[in-house]
Chains A and B, each alone.
Chain A
Amino acid sequence: MRRFFLFLPWLMLVGVSLAQAGAVTDSPKLKIIASHYPLAYFAERIGGNRVVVNQPSPPGEDPAFWKPNAKAVGDMQKADLILLNGADYEKWLPRVSLSKFKLADTSATFRNEFIRIENAVTHSHGPGGMHSHEGTAFTTWLDFGQAGKQADATAQAMIRKRPELKTLFLENLKTLQADLAGLDAELKAIAALKPGLALFASHPVYQYLARRYGLNLKSVHWEPNEMPGKEEWEELQKSLAAHPARWMIWEDRPDPEIADKLQSLGLKSLVFSPCANRPESGDFLEVMKENLENLRSAMH
């Protein structure tokens, strides 16, 4: 009997711990909608198996120019949390009705550092139709310092919705931020190999990448699967005189005809995918590591 009383406090402690653990595992999975894949990846890394993350835009469509229909809005309304990139990425946002309490603008903490794009050209590609990149540059996550801040905002928004999972979320955030910091350091080291090296970008989506890592980047408006017109080639040749680049950065592998024609002008192609959509294989981290290796080849 005396032995039982000696063990009683321990039994109570174990009981309370088990009850707390039960409460954590019993909480329903957090339903998250992320407006693009990097945010979905951050949420999945932070939330682990405690979250269900969906990206509403279809796989073949650029999430930056995707427009939700009433059904997609209805699905978003059912989510617990909607992760937004901010920086004018979600152009559909003013035209839909969503709960403000569910929205989390992940770039709000660095909105004073957004890059403004003036006099952008209107062009068309993919199912999104005609569009322009005028306004605010939105591929904020290609600056891995900013990506870390967006990951932090994602974690804070998730904690607000599931405070009982705070410890788990913060632990996972720490490992994610370590990975992003690793990418940041590596890219800085790669960019330092040839500072000021002239580069071309096939699309104006690398503004934050160029700013953070000091890349001497000039953008055109080309698509990897659309052969540019005669005027665009002439324009490129003129630009090459002022900006003698040896590499053009692409969002995706360009068609061989385009790559060959570029090669004839002395421009090699490399892929640095913004990874706005879920990749067919691998994940955000793997795609970014591949991007870094591709960029390293230009810097050697």
Chain B
Amino acid sequence: MQHDFYLAWRYLRHHRTRSLILIVCLSLLAVLPLALHILLDEGERLMTARAEATPLLVGAKGSAMDLTFNALYFSESTQTRITMAEADRIALTGWADPLAIHARFRVKGHPLVGVSLDYFDFRRLSLWSGQMLAMLGECVLGAEAAESLGLKPGDSLLTSPENLFDLAGVYPLKLHVVGVLGKSHSPDDQAVFVDLQTAWVMEGLGHGHAEAASSPFDPADLAADAKRVTYTEITPENLDSFHFHGDPANYPISAVIALPHDHKSGVLLRGRYLSAEDAAQIVLPLESTRGLLQNIFRVGALFDGVLLLVGSATLLVLGLVFALSLRLRQGEIHTIFLLGCSRATVVRLVGAEILLLVVAGGALSWALLVWIQCYAGDWVRHFVIS
């Protein structure tokens, strides 16, 4: 038996390109459906965990899925925004604590998220280096954002206007990186976090500018007003000149995470959003996510069916290839026979070759699956969720 495997091994090694192709084909046949399931399971786990940790979500009426994805995964959204009045409304009920989220901007491909400090406690995000947000114009980076942007505490990050031709639009601001968060294996790792107030400065609702030298009642100041230098960086020297205009209740936010004090409070709060005239909606992120996951699983089942057909066809092709190769090896098999080997020996030799190919294919599949398993979470976050 040992000799059979030795001869089979020597044969496969001699025809290494052909053997390698067969091994790769066999392993891909096994890996593709299994990898798909690993990715689906990981996606389900990540999305369910994030949604489960977010009890209720309030946002503008429209797609619940869009709202959930924007608030939980900071995806770009076309959803109408709500105002801080909605957060105040939730707080006033006394049933839940509101966590306002401003997830409109992106900076160098990363979501720029305006939150209050409570968000970090809620998501159990802790600092890996530096310090927490303290003053206007500061930012803390998620672990992956810090890595990909190559930034550390003490560096700065310039936000860019959304549209170069929109002169009254988004305010470019030089953010001071004060801290980097520890890895949380969640969409928070990709984000650049600022205080809500800093996000509103970027919206143009708050700004700082050099005061005109003349009296505030001087008519000449009207002309000077238009020429006033508007700061694009918040420093300790100009911090006091920063101020906000308008009623804070009207400041825009993307969504509010409502943290009910108990189950009953959550039910009562949901009851407040039943009116058809209400411009806001309340959603259970877990329900929205499950709805999405069901669709994904339907697509997954379709993929399984397709892969089964493709796999069967590939197996048949491989069988055919093997049968044809045996025909090509007729002369070689005849020589073995003439050397005094029985037919059973020939069968054992061919069987050993097949077994070695299957074992090698299995080993490659296993290695690939382990590798996929290791990075499944990151891939799902990069290519599916974000």
Contacts and interface: CB of A to CB of B under 8 A. Distances in A.
A is bound by B = yes
B353 to A, nearest CB: 68
A124 interface: no
30 contacts: A67-B240, A70-B134, A73-B134, A73-B135, A77-B132, A77-B134, A94-B136, A94-B243, A94-B244, A95-B135, A95-B197, A95-B239, A95-B240, A95-B242, A96-B135, A96-B136, A97-B116, A97-B117, A97-B132, A97-B133, A97-B134, A97-B135, A97-B136, A97-B195, A97-B197, A99-B118, A99-B121, A100-B118, A101-B97, A122-B216
Contacts of A101: 97, 118
Of the four ranges (under 10, 10 to 19, 20 to 34, 35 or more), the interface on chain B belongs to: 20 to 34
A99 B135 contact: no
A121 to B, nearest CB: 11
A220 interface: no
Of the four ranges (under 10, 10 to 19, 20 to 34, 35 or more), the interface on chain A belongs to: 10 to 19
A233 to B, nearest CB: 22
Nearest to B132: A77
Nearest to B178: A70
A100 B97 CA distance: 9
Contacts of B236: 69
A228 interface: no
- The CB with the most chain A CB atoms within 10 A, among B98, B121, B134, is that of B134
B144 interface: no
Interface in A111-165: 122
Contacts, number: 50
B156 to A, nearest CB: 16
Given A73-B134, A99-B121, 8 more contacts: A69-B236, A70-B134, A73-B135, A74-B132, A94-B243, A97-B116, A97-B133, A99-B116
Interface of B: 97-98, 116-118, 121, 131-136, 138, 195, 197, 206, 216, 236, 239-240, 242-244
A33 to B, nearest CB: 14
A81 B138 CA distance: 23
Given A95-B242, A98-B117, A99-B121, A74 B97 contact: no
A95 B201 CA distance: 10
B147 to A, nearest CB: 24
Contacts of B121: 99
Given A100-B118, A101-B97, A101-B118, A74 B242 contact: no
A56 to B, nearest CB: 13
Contacts of A96: 134-136
A69 B195 CA distance: 16
Given A70-B134, A77-B134, A94 B117 contact: no
A96 B135 CA distance: 4
Interface in A66-99: 67, 69-70, 73-74, 77, 94-99
B98 to A, nearest CB: 8
A94 B206 contact: yes
A74 B135 CA distance: 10
A97 B118 CA distance: 10
Given A94-B197, A95-B239, A74 B244 contact: no
Contacts of B134: 70, 73-74, 77, 96-97
8 closest A-B pairs by beta carbon, nearest first, are A97-B133, A73-B134, A97-B195, A99-B117, A100-B116, A95-B136, A70-B134, A101-B118
Contacts of B243: 94
A126 to B, nearest CB: 15
Contacts of B240: 67, 95
Contacts of B118: 99-101
Contacts of A98: 116-117
A70 B116 contact: no
Contacts of A70: 134-135
A222 B159 CA distance: 45
Contacts of B206: 94
Contacts of A69: 236
Contacts of B116: 97-100
B92 to A, nearest CB: 10
Contacts of A73: 134-135
Nearest to B138: A97
A74 B117 CA distance: 12
B309 to A, nearest CB: 55
Nearest to B137: A95
Contacts of B216: 122
Nearest to A122: B216
Contacts of A94: 136, 197, 206, 242-244
Nearest to B87: A100
A122 B131 CA distance: 36
Nearest to B208: A95
A95 B118 CA distance: 17
A47 to B, nearest CB: 22
